[in-house]
C-alpha cells in the first residue's frame, strides 16, 4: 500500500534481528517513515533500538556496514506500556528529546511504536533558517556557466538550486536566504520572493567573494534557532530532520556533514619506526572523511562572523575547536554529489530521474 509522507509505518515494519548488518538497518530506515529500528529476539522481545544517529556514530568509530546492528544499538531504550496515556508518553519523550517510543508488555515484547508527531499533532513547519550559498562563478563547469550561474544549471528538468530548495521545503523549512554574486539577477529573477514554493527568500549580495562562510556576516538579523548552511552545488537525499536532531543530541555548536572517501595508495606503503621497517602494505586503501558542504550552526556561530570579510567554513570550525567549543561530524551515507566539474554534472543528470522522482 502506498503511504503518504505524513503516514506512520506499521511498527512491525521496524523490527530487525540483532545479527542483521548495518546495511539492512539503513535500508529499513529508508523504507519506512518511523526513523527507528526495533531490535528484537525470536520471541519479539525488545533488545534495543537503532536510529539514524546510532548508525552514523558507529560509522565514525570505524564500524563497517557489514557489522551487526547489535554493535551499535541502544541497549537501554526508553519504553512505554500499553496502558500509558498519550500525555505520559509525550512527557517521557520530551524529557529525553525522543521522536519515537516503543511500547512493550510486561514480558518485554513489542506491542506498538508511538511517534511524537502522532501524539502531539504539531505542525511540521520549522523555525530554523536555511542559507544557500549560490554566489560562485562555477569556473570548472565552463562553458556551461558562461551564460548562467551554476545553481541555475538544469539537473533533470529543473535548476539544481530549485531541487535543493524543494528538498529542504519538504522537511518543513520555510525561511531561506540565498547568497548571490555571479549573475545574481538571474537567480533573483528565477526564485523571486519564494512564494511559488510556499516559503520566503531573502538575498545576500556579495560584492566580492566572501568564501564559504562570509555571507553569514550579511544576515539582516540573527537567527534564534540552529541555522542550516548548504553549498548551492550539492545534490543530496540527506535527511535534514536527522541532521538537526543529531546536532542537538551531540550538544554541538557547529556540525559538519562529512562523506566517507576511500583513497587507494597506488604504491606499496613502507611503515617505518626508528629507522627500521616495521611493515610493508601493498597498495593500501585509506578511509577518510571529507567535508560534504552542509552545516548546522548555532546562532552564536552565525553572529561571530564579521561583516564584509572573506572567511571559509573550515576557518569557522577551526576557531570553534581552538576555543574549546563542541563540534560534531554527521556522516552522510545517502546519495550525495558535489557538482564541481563536467563529469559530476553529467553523472548527476544520469542519476536524477532514478533517485529524485521527477
Close Cβ partners of 229 (under 8 Å, ≥ 6 residues apart) = 130, 131, 133, 213, 216, 294, 295, 296, 297, 313
State the cell numbers at 67: 557489522
What gap in Å lies between CA 326 and CA 250, rounded to an integer? Answer: 8
Q: What is the pLDDT of residues 312-356, one digit of tens each?
A: 999 999 999 999 999 999 999 888 988 888 888 888 888 887 776
Average pLDDT estimate for 102-122: 79
Q: Per-residue confidence at 8, pLDDT binned at 50, 70, 90?
A: very low
pLDDT of 49: 94
pLDDT above 80: residue 122 = no
Q: How many other C-beta atoms can be found within 10 angstroms of the C-beta atom of residue 197?
A: 17
Element (H, E) at 212: none
Give 130-195 as a DSSP string: EEEE-----GGGTTTTSSS-GGGSEETTEEHHHHHHHHHHTTTEEEEEEEE-TTHHHHHHHHTTSG
Burial class (CB in 10 A: 0-12, 13-18, 19+), 260: middle
The arithmetic mean of pLDDT across residues 273-281, rounded, is 80
Can you give the pLDDT at residue 118? 66
Structural domains for the chain: 11-120 (3.10.580.10), 126-355 (3.90.550.10)
Taking a C-beta distance cutoff of 8 angstroms, is the pair 16, 39 a contact? Answer: yes
Residue that has been written with the C-alpha cell 537567480 in this structure? 187
DSSP one-letter code for 284: P
What mean pLDDT is reported for the chain? 86
Half-sphere exposure of 325 (CA within 13 A, CB side): 18
Question: For 259-267, what is the mean pLDDT?
Answer: 79
**286 by DSSP, 3-state: which?**
strand
pLDDT at position 2 is 30
**pLDDT higher than threshold 90 for residue 242:** no
> Does position 33 have pLDDT exceeding 80, yes or no?
no
Q: How far is 292 from 320, CA to CA, in rounded Å?
A: 19
Q: Over the stretch 192-236, which tens digit does the pLDDT of each residue have?
A: 999 888 889 999 999 888 998 999 999 989 999 999 999 998 999
Could you tell me what percent of the chain has a pLDDT over 70? 93
**The pLDDT value given to residue 120:** 58
Give residue-wise pLDDT tens across range 161-200. 998 998 888 788 999 999 998 888 999 999 999 988 888 9
- pLDDT at position 4 is 34
DSSP character for 306? Answer: P
Amino acid at each position: 500500500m502506498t503511504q503518504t509522507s505524513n503516514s506512520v509505518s506499521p511498527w512491525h515494519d521496524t523490527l530487525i534481528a540483532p545479527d542483521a548488518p548495518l546495511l539492512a538497518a539503513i535500508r529499513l530506515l529508508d523504507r519506512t517513515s518511523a526513523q527507528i529500528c526495533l531490535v528484537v529476539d525470536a520471541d519479539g522481545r525488545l533488545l534495543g533500538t537503532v536510529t539514524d544517529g546510532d548508525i552514523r556514530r558507529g560509522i565514525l568509530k570505524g564500524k563497517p556496514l557489514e557489522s551487526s546492528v547489535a554493535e551499535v544499538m541502544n541497549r537501554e531504550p526508553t519504553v512505554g506500556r500499553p496502558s500509558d496515556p498519550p500525555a505520559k508518553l509525550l512527557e517521557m519523550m520530551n524529557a529525553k528529546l525522543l521522536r519515537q517510543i516503543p511500547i512493550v508488555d510486561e514480558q518485554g515484547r513489542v506491542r506498538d511504536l508511538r511517534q511524537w508527531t502522532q501524539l502531539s499533532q504539531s505542525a511540521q513547519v520549522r523555525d530554523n533558517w536555511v542559507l544557500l550559498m549560490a554566489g560562485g562563478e562555477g569556473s570548472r563547469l565552463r562553458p556551461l556557466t558562461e551564460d548562467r550561474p551554476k545553481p541555475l544549471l538544469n539537473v533533470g528538468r529543473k535548476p539544481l538550486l530549485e531541487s535543493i530548495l524543494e528538498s529542504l521545503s519538504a522537511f518543513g523549512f520555510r525561511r531561506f536566504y540565498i547568497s548571490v554574486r555571479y549573475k545574481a539577477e538571474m537567480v533573483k529573477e528565477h526564485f523571486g520572493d519564494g512564494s511559488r514554493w510556499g516559503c520566503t527568500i531573502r538575498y545576500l549580495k556579495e560584492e566580492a567573494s566572501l568564501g564559504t562562510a562570509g555571507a553569514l556576516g550579511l544576515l539582516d538579523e540573527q537567527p534564534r534557532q540552529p541555522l542550516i548552511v548548504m553549498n548551492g552545488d550539492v545534490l543530496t537525499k540527506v535527511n535534514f530532520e536527522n541532521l538537526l536532531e543529531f546536532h542537538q543530541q551531540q550538544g554541538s555548536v557547529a556540525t559538519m556533514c562529512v562523506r566517507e572517501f576511500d583513497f587507494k595508495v597506488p604504491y606499496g606503503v613502507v611503515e617505518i619506526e626508528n629507522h627500521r621497517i616495521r611493515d610493508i602494505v601493498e597498495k593500501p586503501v585509506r578511509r577518510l572523511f571529507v567535508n560534504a558542504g552542509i552545516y548546522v550552526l548555532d546562532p552564536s556561530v552565525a553572529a561571530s562572523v564579521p561583516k564584509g570579510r572573506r572567511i571559509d567554513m573550515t576557518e569557522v570550525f577551526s576557531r570553534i575547536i581552538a576555543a574549546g567549543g563542541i563540534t560534531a561530524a554527521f556522516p552522510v551515507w545517502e546519495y550525495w554529489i558535489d557538482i564541481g566539474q563536467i563529469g559530476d554534472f553529467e553523472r548527476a543528470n544520469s542519476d536524477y530521474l532514478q533517485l529524485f522522482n521527477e
